[in-house]
Amino acid sequence: EGKRRLWRRTDSRPWGTCGSISNKPLRFNGLSFLVFSLTAQPQQQTSQIQKQVKMQVGHFPSMQVIARVIVDLFYIQNKLTLCLFLVGPKVVYVPPPPPEEESSIFSHYASGINFDKYDDILVDVSGSNPPKAIMTFDEAGLCESLRKNVTKSGYVKPTPVQKHGIPIISAGRDLMACAQTGSGKTAAFLLPILQRLMADGVAASKFSEVQEPEAIIVAPTRELINQIYLEARKFAYGTCVRPVVVYGGINTGYTIREVLKGCNVLCGTPGRLLDIIGRGKVGLSKLRYLVLDEADRMLDMGFEPDMRKLVGSPGMPSKEDRQTLMFSATYPEDIQRMAADFLKVDYIFLAVGVVGGACSDVEQTIIQVDQYSKRDQLLELLRSTGNERTMVFVETKRSADFIATFLCQEKMSTTSIHGDREQREREKALSDFRTGQCPVLVATSVAARGLDIEQVQHVVNFDLPSSIDEYVHRIGRTGRCGNIGRAVSFFNPESDTPLARSLVKVLSGAQQEVPKWLEEIAFSAHGTTGFNPRGKVFASTDTRKGGSFKTDEPPQASAPSPAAAADDEEWE
């Protein structure tokens, strides 16, 4: 409904009499629209209709289709008589080059005062004959170049997910790993992959018109995949292994040129990966590793078709002939069962800490407040935090801009990030937040997953999400690497009651105080089963039949350095 309010006609002609494609795009709020009629049977595939649309758009060489699906289809007398497509200027944005100075590449922040508390975290490993955990990076068998880069990154001892994940991956086993946010999952899969490539003497070649990477890493958002790429680039510094990143919102020609310079580790969002592969610029015959970061999101409704298309791409090795690795902080049971389709039968399930739980280093506070009092409550809260970095999460893109504008009017340096902002604007917003130029960042779910930003002291849920796993990801932006963080959530009984029981469970599991009023709401909410309004529940153990074992010695933790949707959010 929100889209229909935006996408209004700017002339007076009735919709049904538009005829063929317009002589020029209609303009509205800086966007362009092409309006034309087609004749198509209702059963015609959307993809076939889209091809016709793109052919028509070809009449305007300065434009390109930026909508993935048809906005509206009007069937009159069993025929498609109107198609409205959103188009925009060709993407010409080229991101600034990543830093070349060693000091910038290896910048990291220190572990916090609670870092050694990781020693007491319980680890559960299930699957046949799991490899023994390592206790130090020296036991990981890293080559000299990689070991030096690990040291330069400030890593002193491995975190629990690294202690178990590194030997599992090094042994060639498929892995489904679930660990709390900020626990070092990115290094857990990058280090063993890079070690194997370096040991085998793999080197990037700039002389091939089709690049064949040995590893592909997939993540749901541009910001997260770029962060993973920078971590891979850091660990591969001074070696012959070359990581490359591809994602939407930047010039395609630039992306292709970067890939053709040589690519051993290809990091990307699903849509852009499929695009590059479809253009014949990337082959899959040499692929050894397929990594899904934030795997629960990658296999959820929005991305599952793309992931199945990726693994079904020509040349993609079967799951028996590749190593598949999945990492996330949450694993609903149905997602865990679906993930088994991508993994070998004997995959290992690794659970670190409370699966699907929040980190106990985050002090969680729930405040009961009605919708119309939220702005004043937020203002009061932010004034008490001074210039400390704070992420404010809202449920819609429209709200993100509205709240950011409101805070700026109140003389608070604020920026926002969401899927409707251009890639240049998104990167500028993150840069301003990281540097402290804008200490307040208002965000939708696009920023909730995986981002590791130094010194985020506070997270505010202005709007609570609809699912508890999204709540866990949001508050995980603070309290990372053993640092203490604070998360404040505004609870509106009119809209958030279905989440009450889940909140009580998460708060209790993280040894946080549970307000009595929240307990009363939780246990008086009829029909509220808690964890996910879509019927999903957390998987605290391996869903496969069979035994699991718990390690006698809980693992320890290391300083993972920076690495770790709301209304139709543009994730890619």
For 256, the 3-state DSSP assignment is: helix
Among 148-152, 243-247, 320-324, 525-529, the minimum mean pLDDT is found in 525-529
* Tokens describing residue 227: 């962060």
Tens digit of each residue's pLDDT (9 = 90 or more) over 2-12: 333 333 333 33
Q: Give dist(CA 79, CA 74) in Å, integer.
A: 8
* Tokens describing residue 108: 């990291």
510 pLDDT tier (thresholds 50, 70, 90) = confident
For position 369, what pLDDT does the model report? 97
Residue 212: count other Cβ atoms within 10 Å of its Cβ: 16
Phi (first) and psi of residue 273, to 5 degrees: -60, -50
For position 357, what pLDDT does the model report? 53
Lay out the sheet containing 414-417: strands in order across: 362-368, 485-491, 456-461, 389-393, 440-443, 414-417
Measured CA angle at 506 (ends 505, 508), to 5 deg: 65
- Given a contact cutoff of 8 angstroms between Cβ atoms, the answer to whether 87 and 109 are in contact is no
Q: Give dist(CA 284, CA 524) in Å, integer.
A: 54
* Tokens describing residue 295: 């795997």
* Cα–Cα separations (whole angstroms), residue 336 to 185, 269, 301, 340: 18, 21, 13, 7
Q: Give dist(CA 268, CA 200) in Å, integer.
A: 24
Contacts of 207 (CB under 8 A, 6+ apart): none
The mean per-residue pLDDT over the stretch 132-143 comes to 96
- Given a contact cutoff of 8 angstroms between Cβ atoms, the answer to whether 119 and 556 are in contact is yes
Average pLDDT score, the chain: 79
Residue 319 has pLDDT above 90, yes or no: yes
For 470, the 3-state DSSP assignment is: helix
The mean per-residue pLDDT over the stretch 531-536 comes to 37
Q: Percent of the chain at pLDDT above 90? A: 52
Q: Give dist(CA 190, CA 179) in Å, integer.
A: 16
Higher pLDDT, 330 or 371: 371
Tens digit of each residue's pLDDT (9 = 90 or more) over 66-94: 443 333 444 434 444 444 444 455 667 89
The pTM for the full model equals 0.75
Nearest CA among 273, 297, 295 for reference residue 284:
273
Residue type, 448: A
For position 445, what pLDDT does the model report? 78
Contacts of 347 (CB under 8 A, 6+ apart): 127, 173, 174, 175, 176, 324, 340
For position 266, what pLDDT does the model report? 99
Phi (first) and psi of residue 284, to 5 degrees: -120, 5
Nearest CA among 561, 564, 431 for reference residue 98:
431
The mean per-residue pLDDT over the stretch 258-281 comes to 96
218 pLDDT tier (thresholds 50, 70, 90) = very high
- Given a contact cutoff of 8 angstroms between Cβ atoms, the answer to whether 396 and 445 are in contact is no
Domains of the chain plus CATH, in order, are 2-89 (no CATH), 128-172+184-318 (3.40.50.300), 362-524 (3.40.50.300)
The burial class, CB within 10 Å (0-12 / 13-18 / 19+), for 16 is exposed
17 pLDDT tier (thresholds 50, 70, 90) = very low
Nearest CA among 452, 509, 512, 517 for reference residue 491:
517
For position 58, what pLDDT does the model report? 52
DSSP string, 368-417: E--GGGHHHHHHHHHHHHTTSEEEEE-SSHHHHHHHHHHHHHTT--EEEE
- Given a contact cutoff of 8 angstroms between Cβ atoms, the answer to whether 170 and 348 are in contact is no
For position 111, what pLDDT does the model report? 54
